């Protein structure tokens, strides 16, 4: 196989507590999915004994890291962001080789990655996530005096994070799970995705160097390489690990959930897994913007070769001439769309298998077919069609195809839409394309969708997630393992915290966020009323 020369002096080893650590369990290579060629260097895989050294270092780092003063804590996140940014073109070039993603997409993803780290630095400085509540003693209260009770949230402990295949930067080594866990005060042991080992090494070095330069315990961050079936499972079992962050397939996510639940001390697994993101197109919107909507649908469907967790895999279109015209427009546009290189040969193979399975279902027809791509692992985009009764009677039609494939479901009435929505599994998003004239038809859907999804969108498309304070990137199973959480935005920090109450503890023994003089100048809730230190 052709071999591409290495970039950025890659070492090809895990980084355990700041040290390059050659693995003792064989090697693997990144693969250029456009050519099938191996990328140098070879990456050494660690043993379970070497993994134990990483988790032990994380446990050693925990006590000092969880009580880190806010300014130093925020500075660490900002330095990590600056170091990742400084990797610049080397990082983007390596990620492009390992994933087949275009450099423009990766440039935007790099900005999102560093932006997330800086956003969490601001969260750390503000301190509201610490959840400080104080009920001062009331010794004269009758019939029973009230003790002094103070509450704060503390980090859970070391966290295992698994890199995602489809976001080599924003959901990987320094991505949302790592950033939110570090912001919570949890050391991270990061298992690199074997599809982009060089990208992971470059970013892992940036984080490890930030910890070193700011004088933190090196166990705050480790990067490891190994098979998911052995090292990944061992990581989830390790008693030092207190939570898991994962983005990937339903089968891998549920396997980690089972492992974590079977431990002597079960731990939470925050897994983002499977979603087909239904889009509901209403009559009035269709009449006024059919051509534009068809173009936007095809663009959303085919972007990044459909390898986005918010890809519109399901579109409800009304029966009638306007719906027919929309489908014709989609057919014309998709016929000109070429397949793009997918992230790995395995993902491309799985996409083709999913397309074949959907095409073989009774009551399903091919609506539109694109063109096979010019590189390896670039299947043609596909759109299929069916009706609501068929959709509701066949669970195969709800299965995610990770790629540029979608199902158009034709509906007759608002009642059919509500019934279809009620029959669906949990999703990350649902989208309503409508005008004011459509509001009476759309209104009954809202309460149904609230129970099915994490984010409801009007007059947009689900692809694209704005990282901020109000965003929710989660949803009921199987979209995620815990519908109460989000993996994107500042609320993601809550996954790695738990409350502790301190009753009648002398002021000198209290942790700093709870002391009378409020040395960290935190916003606190005193007697139920929000109070800010002068």
User: Catalytic positions, please?
Assistant: 272, 309
Is the preceding peptide bond at 478 cis, omega within 30 degrees of 0? yes
Number of H helices, E strands in the chain: 14, 22
At residue 280, the 3 state secondary structure works out as: strand
Between CA 137 and CA 38 the distance in angstroms is 67
The edge-to-edge listing of strands for the beta sheet with 523-526 is 497-503, 149-155, 133-135, 523-526, 529-532
Buried b (16+ CB within 10 A) or exposed e, 92-122: bbbbbbbbbbeeeebbebbebbbebbbbbbe
Between CA 34 and CA 171 the distance in angstroms is 22
Q: By C-alpha distance, which of 231, 298, 308 is closest to 52?
A: 231
Between CA 291 and CA 157 the distance in angstroms is 52
Buried b (16+ CB within 10 A) or exposed e, 270-300: bbbbbbbbbbbbbbbbbeebbeebbeebbeb
What are the residues whose beta carbons fall under 8 Å from the beta carbon of 528, sequence distance 6 or more? none
Between CA 134 and CA 137 the distance in angstroms is 9
In terms of C-beta density within 10 A (0-12 exposed, 13-18 middle, 19 or more buried), how is residue 418 classed? middle
DSSP 516: T
């Amino acid at each position: 196989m052709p071999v591409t020369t290495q970039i950025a002096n890659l070492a090809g080893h895990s980084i355990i507590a700041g040290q390059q650590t050659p693995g003792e369990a064989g090697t693997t290579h990144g693969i250029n999915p456009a050519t099938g060629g191996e990328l140098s260097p070879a990456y050494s895989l660690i043993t379970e004994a070497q993994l134990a050294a990483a988790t032990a270092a994380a446990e050693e780092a925990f006590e000092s890291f969880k009580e880190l003063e806010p300014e130093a804590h925020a500075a660490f996140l900002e330095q990590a962001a600056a170091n990742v940014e400084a990797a610049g073109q080397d990082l983007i070039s390596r990620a492009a080789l390992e994933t087949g993603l275009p450099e423009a997409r990766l440039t935007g993803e790099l900005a999102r990655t560093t932006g997330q780290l800086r956003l969490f630095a601001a969260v750390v400085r503000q301190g509201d996530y610490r959840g400080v509540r104080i009920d001062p003693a009331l010794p004269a209260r009758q019939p029973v005096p009230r003790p002094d009770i103070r509450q704060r949230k503390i980090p859970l402990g070391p966290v295992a994070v698994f890199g995602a295949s489809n976001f080599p930067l924003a959901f990987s080594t320094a991505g949302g799970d790592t950033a939110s866990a570090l912001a919570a005060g949890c050391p991270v042991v990061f298992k690199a995705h074997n599809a982009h080992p060089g990208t992971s090494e470059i970013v892992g070095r940036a984080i490890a160097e930030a910890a070193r330069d700011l004088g933190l315990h090196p166990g705050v961050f480790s990067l490891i390489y190994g098979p998911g079936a052995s090292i990944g499972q061992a990581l989830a079992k390790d008693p030092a690990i207190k939570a898991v962050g994962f983005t990937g397939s339903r089968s891998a996510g549920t396997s980690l959930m089972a492992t974590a639940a079977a431990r002597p001390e079960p731990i939470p697994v925050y897994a983002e897994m499977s979603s087909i993101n239904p889009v509901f197109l209403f009559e009035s919107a269709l009449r006024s913007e059919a051509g534009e909507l068809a173009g936007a649908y095809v663009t959303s469907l085919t972007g990044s070769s459909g390898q986005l967790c918010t890809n519109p895999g399901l579109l409800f279109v009304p029966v009638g001439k306007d719906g027919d015209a929309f489908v014709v427009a989609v057919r014309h546009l998709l016929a000109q769309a070429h397949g793009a290189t997918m992230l790995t040969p395995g993902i491309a193979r799985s996409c083709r298998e999913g397309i074949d399975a959907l095409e073989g279902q009774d009551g399903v027809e091919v609506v539109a077919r694109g063109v096979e791509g010019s590189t390896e692992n670039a299947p043609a985009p596909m759109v299929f069609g069916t009706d609501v009764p068929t959709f509701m009677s066949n669970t195969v039609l709800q299965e995610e195809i990770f790629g540029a494939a979608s199902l158009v479901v034709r509906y007759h009435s608002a009642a059919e839409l509500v019934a279809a929505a009620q029959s669906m599994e949990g999703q990350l998003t649902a989208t309503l394309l409508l005008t004011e004239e459509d509001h009476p038809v759309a209104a009954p859907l809202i309460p149904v969708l609230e129970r099915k999804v994490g984010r409801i969108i009007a007059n947009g498309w689900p692809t694209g997630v704005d990282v901020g304070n109000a965003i929710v990137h989660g949803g009921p199973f199987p979209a995620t393992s815990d519908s109460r959480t989000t993996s994107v935005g500042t609320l993601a920090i809550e996954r790695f915290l738990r409350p502790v109450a301190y009753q009648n503890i002398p002021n000198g023994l209290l942790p700093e966020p709870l002391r009378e003089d409020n040395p960290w100048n935190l916003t606190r809730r005193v007697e139920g009323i929000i109070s800010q230190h002068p």
